C-alpha cells in the first residue's frame, strides 16, 4: 500500500485527485498508475483503469487471475466492474470512499432498442468463432 500511496502523491503533485494504484502478480509489482482525469480530460482516467491497461499490455492478456490491486481509495463502480471483467483476484483499498453511497448524477437509461439485431450479431460472431476452433 505504501507504493500506491507514493503513486497517489505523484498524481497530487500534478494537480490530480491523489489516488494511486499498484498491481502485484506472483509477488512482483507489475504496474502502477495514478489518476489523470484532469490532464487527459478523460472521465475514465482513474488510477485503476489505467493500471489495468498497463498490466494487460505487460501480461499480453485482458484476463488477470492471480493479480492483486492495491488502491488508495475504495474503487468506484466503473473500476470495480473493470477489475471484475479482468478477473482480478484481489482488491485491497486504503480509505473508504465517502461518496460511494450518494449518486450525484442521474441519467436516463433506455434499453431494448434493436435488441434482436444486436443479439443476432453476437450469436453470429460466437458461432463463427466456434466453427474456426473446430
- Annotated catalytic residue 48: yes
From the candidates 7, 16, 38, 48, which is the catalytic residue? Answer: 48
The residue with cell 506472483 is: 26
* Separation between Cα atoms, residue 117 and residue 123, nearest integer Å: 10
Which cell numbers in the block locate residue 75?
A: 474503487
The Cβ of residue 2 has, within 10 Å, a number of other Cβ atoms equal to 8
For the residues of 36-98, what is the DSSP string, one character each?
-HHHHT-TT--HHHHHHHHHHHHHT-S--TTEEEEEEE---HHHHHHHHHTT-SEEEEEE--T
Inter-residue contact 29 to 22 (CB < 8 Å): yes
Q: Which residues are catalytic?
A: 48
Amino acid at each position: 500500500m505504501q507504493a500506491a500511496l507514493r503513486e497517489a502523491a505523484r498524481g497530487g503533485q500534478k494537480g490530480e485527485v491523489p489516488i494511486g494504484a499498484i498491481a502485484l502478480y506472483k509477488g512482483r509489482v507489475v504496474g502502477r498508475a495514478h489518476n489523470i482525469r484532469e490532464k487527459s480530460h478523460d472521465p475514465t482516467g482513474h488510477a485503476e483503469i489505467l493500471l489495468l491497461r498497463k498490466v494487460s499490455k505487460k501480461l499480453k492478456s485482458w484476463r488477470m487471475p492471480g493479480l492483486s490491486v492495491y488502491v488508495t481509495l475504495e474503487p468506484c463502480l466503473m473500476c470495480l466492474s473493470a477489475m471484475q471483467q479482468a478477473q482480478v483476484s484481489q482488491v485491497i483499498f486504503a480509505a473508504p470512499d465517502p461518496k460511494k453511497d450518494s449518486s450525484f448524477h442521474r441519467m436516463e437509461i433506455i434499453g431494448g432498442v434493436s435488441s434482436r439485431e444486436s443479439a443476432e450479431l453476437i450469436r453470429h460472431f460466437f458461432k463463427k468463432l466456434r466453427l474456426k476452433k473446430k
